[in-house]
Amino acid sequence: MLQFFIRRLGVSLLVAVTVSVIGFALLRLSGDLASALAGETATPEEIARVAAMYGLDRPLYVQYFDWVWSALHGDLGTSLFSRVPVLELIVDHLGVTIALALCSLLLSLLVAIPLGVVAAMRPNTWIDRTALALAVFGQAIPNFWFALILIFVFAVKLQWAPVSGSDTWVHFILPTVTLGLGTMPAKMRLTRTGMIDALSSDFVRTARAKGLSARAVLFKHALRTAILPVVSVSAVSLGFLLGGSVIVESVFGLNGIGQLAFQSISQIDFPVVQSILVFLAFCYIFLTMLADLINARLDPRIKL
C-alpha cells in the first residue's frame, strides 16, 4: 500500500507541476497584460510603468518561479481590483462552492444508485430502457442550458425558488439540481453495470443456493460489490463539481469560487485567475489520487 501511495503521489505531483506551468503560461501568453491593465489610451511609457510595477517585464520563467516560491509561503499575491490578498478571497468564497459541490454529489448518489439498481434488476425492459434514456439525456444537456430551464420554470413561472443569491439554503436548491443531475448519469450506468455483473456472479448464486432472502442477496452481496466503482468515481466527480461550479454559480449568482473566477476574468485580475485555476486543478488531482487509493483499498483485485 505504501509503494502504491508513493507512486500515485509522484504522478500527482508531476501532473500538478505541469498544470501550474501550463496555466501560468497560458494566462501570460493570452495577450499583453500590461497593455490591458494600463488601458486602451495608455502611452508606451505608462504601459512600461505598469509592466514594471507588476513584474511583467521580467522573463516568464522568473515570474513563474517567483510566483511558486511566494505560493509555497502562503502568498498568492493581491487582487488588482479589490486590493485584497488572493488567498483571503479564495477562503471567503470557498465555503459556498464546497457546500454546493457536496450537496450536488449527495443528490447525484441518491438518484443514481437506486435508479441503477432498479434498472439492473429489470434488464432489457421498459424500466431499464427508460433509465438509460434518462442517463443519456442528462449527460447530453449542458449545465448552463439546464440551469436556464430550471430558472424559467421554477423561479420565473412557478416562483417556487429564488433566482439568485446565496444567503439561505433555499438558494442552493436549483444550483444543486443543475450540478447533481449533470453528474448522475455516469454513476447510474456504473451502478447498473456493476449490479448486472454481480447478480450473475458465482458468489451471488451461492448466496441464493444457501437460502438467503432476495433482500440480503441484493444489498449485502451484490450491491456491496457493484458500488466499488461508484465510490471511486464519486471522489473524482467531486473535483469535477468544484470546477464545474464556475458556470452554475455565475448563472445563479452564488458568491462562490466560480463567481469569483468569472468576475476576475472580466476584470483582467490575473493574480486571482491563475490562483483559482491552479487551486481547482490541485483539488481535482488530489481527489483523483484519493479515488485511486480508495478503490485500491476496497477492491482486492487491484495489485498494490
Distance of CA 251 to the CA centre of its chain: 17
Decide if 81 is inside a domain: no
Domain boundary among 48, 73, 98: 73
81/263 Cα distance (integer angstroms)? 10
CATH number for the domain harbouring residue 113: 1.10.3720.10
218/294 Cα distance (integer angstroms)? 23
Q: Where are the beta strands (DSSP E) in the chain?
A: none
Domain span at residue 196 reads 86-298
For 184-228, write each residue's pLDDT tens digit: 888 888 888 888 888 787 777 787 777 777 777 777 777 877 887
Torsion of CA 214, 215, 218, 224, to 10 degrees: -150
Same domain for 104 and 60: no
299/229 Cα distance (integer angstroms)? 9
67/61 Cα distance (integer angstroms)? 10
Distance of CA 124 to the CA centre of its chain: 33
Inter-residue contact 121 to 226 (CB < 8 Å): no
Any idea which residue has 490541485 for its cell? 282
Decide if 157 is inside a domain: yes
pTM: 0.81
For 42-61, write each residue's pLDDT tens digit: 777 777 887 787 777 778 78
Residue 85 β-bridge partners: 78
For 57-106, write each residue's pLDDT tens digit: 778 788 888 888 888 888 888 887 888 888 999 999 888 899 899 999 99
Same domain for 38 and 166: no
Same domain for 116 and 63: no
Any idea which residue has 449485502 for its cell? 220
Question: Residue type at 22?
Answer: I
Arithmetic mean of pLDDT over the chain: 82
pLDDT at 49: 82
Tally of structural domains, the chain: 2
